[in-house]
Chain A
Amino acid sequence: MEGMWYYTAVFFAAVFTNNILLANYLGMCSFLSVAKELKASVGLGIAVTFVMASTTVLNWMVYNFLLEPFGLEYLRFIVFIIVIAAFVQLVEMIIERVSESLYAALGIFLPLITVNCAILGVSLFMVIRDYDLVTSFFFGLGSGLGWFLAIMAMAGILQKLKKARIPKGLEGAGITLIITGIMALAFMGFAGMLMLG
């Protein structure tokens, strides 16, 4: 598979069949805490998509131009993490400075994302699957959108559940995890479509 079709395939696989949240169960903590609020979920979803797409590209460059030439692949965990942290911090500062409304909508979620394991996960998958720069970008973008899709679906379901009578012991994270599991099963229905490595 080459060219545009390949990118499209990677992109859609990242959204549906290999959804970072539902297939790999990464990025759960902010998912669990924010999905209660539909509006906040939108903000966090957009922020995650943006950060994932950009840090995957950044980390690809760091990995291929800096780590690999010196044979330092094993340092990727620590290097990726500092790149992500610095990038997120920088973006937060810039947003806060230039646009107040953007900061109110997205900026406050950025610190949450620094420690979101899905972001690091996507960068690591990119290495394992040996993607090139453009593919990495589409993979990052697709994973971000996939996470966005998952949190939106969960926020929608939780809105409906507000009026439902949930057994006391399952309130909060309990019921959210069960629903996430059911959603993951549903997403497995896409599995025949495409599959990533």
Chain B
Amino acid sequence: MIEALLISVLIVTSVAVFLALLMVIADATIANYGDVNINVNDGSKDLTVKGGQPLLKALNSEGIFIPSACGGRGSCGLCKVQVVKGGGQLLPTELPWLSEEERKDNVRLSCQFKVKEDIEIKIPEELFLVKEFKTRVAAIRDLTYDIKEVTLELIDPPEINAAAGQFIQFQVPEYELTDEEVYRAYSMSSAPSDNKHVELEIRLVPNGICTTYVHKFLKEGDLVTINGPYGDFYLRDTQREIIFVAGGSGMAPIKAILLDMEEKKISRKIRYFFGARSTRDLFLVDEMKRLENALPDFTFIPALSAPEEGEAWNGETGLITEVMDRMLEHVEETEAYLCGSPGMIDACIKVLEDKGVPEERIFYDKFA
């Protein structure tokens, strides 16, 4: 009896050990690609990493964070990286995420593509500054009935180095609406000089995974993980007149840019068109009033598209596009910065182009 037991244990163990040994040997020989070199942006960084691992992971281990929402499972399609040299052919798991043009430029999904030889890649410079931050919710306040301002205090690392207008990704933990961690992007509304805090303006979207979490569950003192900064929506260094256009929580990056201009004493002519349905959708009006006084030539132009009956309103009315159409003359030399829903932005770009603002001077941040 005991003998039979011992034999069975012995057999199973030896089969398992044999196979495990086989795997270890295979891992060290067949799957061993040695150290490989990743040349980033024409030699601005030269990384030596262990071969055979996904590019996303390899870059992560070297402190370069590529935006990714699914954690490397190939289901979000965000972690695209252009591979200039080396790398071989596209995998079937990458195909659904890449457009014709991206395939031609050899853009790869970095979580699927494994580094097995020396490669050269190109990534946006600002990704070098991207870090993951542990933060604590310092304050939450209502800006309107559906927009909350969330202030996060950075814990580790304690400071963020961002340009006004950039965004971060907010990590939503598992809860009722999601059974995995997800990331959502939000613009920072705080001035970059306050590098110990990140302030966000988050509008409640019905059934939105992150917005519901923030509006219904998040409390002061909660810990939140974010990563960033990302994005190229920042003020260009010129002397041109500026047109800002925003709707709803599109206020956030523009507010950050305005605060930054105030601190840096930039004295360009600014007009800021802000679209809302009625007065209950307007917020930070006092702050804008203050900035009108603080900045040498700044006009805040809120416009209501559907003011309620009997509402005391002596400002502009109509769709933001109608108001812009009415008020903008001789704007060929201006720069425009737009932030809001895709529909609003597309309509505003059309108005601006009709008024003669060239396409390359219209910058925008679409909330998808």
Contact = CB atoms under 8 A, between A and B. Distances in A.
B30 A82 contact: no
A100 B89 contact: yes
Interface in B1-49: 4, 7-8, 11-12, 15-16, 19, 22-23, 26-27, 30-31
A104 B26 contact: no
B113 to A, nearest CB: 11
A122 B31 CA distance: 29
A168 interface: no
Contact of B19 (A43, A86, A97, A103): A86
B15 A93 contact: no
A195 interface: no
Secondary structure of the A side of the interface? helix
B206 interface: no
B88 interface: yes
B60 interface: no
A153 interface: no
Interface in A89-107: 89-90, 93-94, 96-97, 100-101, 103-105
A75 B8 contact: yes
Given A70-B8, A82-B16, A100-B88, A108 B26 contact: no
Contact of A75 (B11, B26, B90, B93): B11
Interface in B76-91: 88-91
B92 interface: yes
A20 to B, nearest CB: 24
A130 B250 CA distance: 71
Contact of A72 (B7, B16, B91): B7
Nearest to B91: A104
Interface residues of A, number: 27
A93 B92 contact: no
Interface residues of B, number: 21
Contact of A79 (B12, B30, B89): B12
A66 interface: yes
A130 B74 CA distance: 43
B26 A93 contact: yes
A89 B23 contact: yes
B91 A70 contact: no
Contacts of B30: 90, 93-94, 97
A103 to B, nearest CB: 8
A96 B12 CA distance: 29
Contacts of B88: 100
Nearest to B16: A82
B22 A90 contact: yes
B75 to A, nearest CB: 12
A78 interface: yes
Contact of A104 (B12, B22, B27, B90): B90
Contact of A43 (B16, B26, B92): B92
A28 to B, nearest CB: 21
Contacts of B12: 75, 78-79
Contacts of A43: 92
- Which interface residue of A66, A83, A90, A101 has the most chain B CB atoms within 10 A? A90
A83 B15 CA distance: 9
A71 interface: yes
A66 B11 contact: yes
Contact of B92 (A40, A79, A96): A40
Contacts of A75: 8, 11-12
Contacts of B11: 66-67, 70, 72, 75
Contact of B31 (A66, A83, A93, A103): A93
Contacts of A94: 30
Nearest to A92: B31
Interface string A65-85: 011001110010011001100
B31 A96 contact: yes
Contact of A108 (B8, B19, B31, B91): B91
Given A90-B26, A97-B30, A82 B89 contact: no
Contact of A101 (B8, B89, B114): B89
A72 B8 contact: yes
Nearest to A94: B30
A103 B112 CA distance: 13
Given A43-B92, A93-B26, 6 more contacts: A66-B15, A70-B7, A89-B26, A90-B30, A97-B30, A100-B89
17 contacts: A39-B92, A62-B15, A66-B15, A72-B8, A75-B8, A75-B11, A82-B19, A83-B19, A86-B22, A93-B26, A93-B27, A94-B30, A97-B31, A100-B88, A100-B89, A104-B89, A108-B91
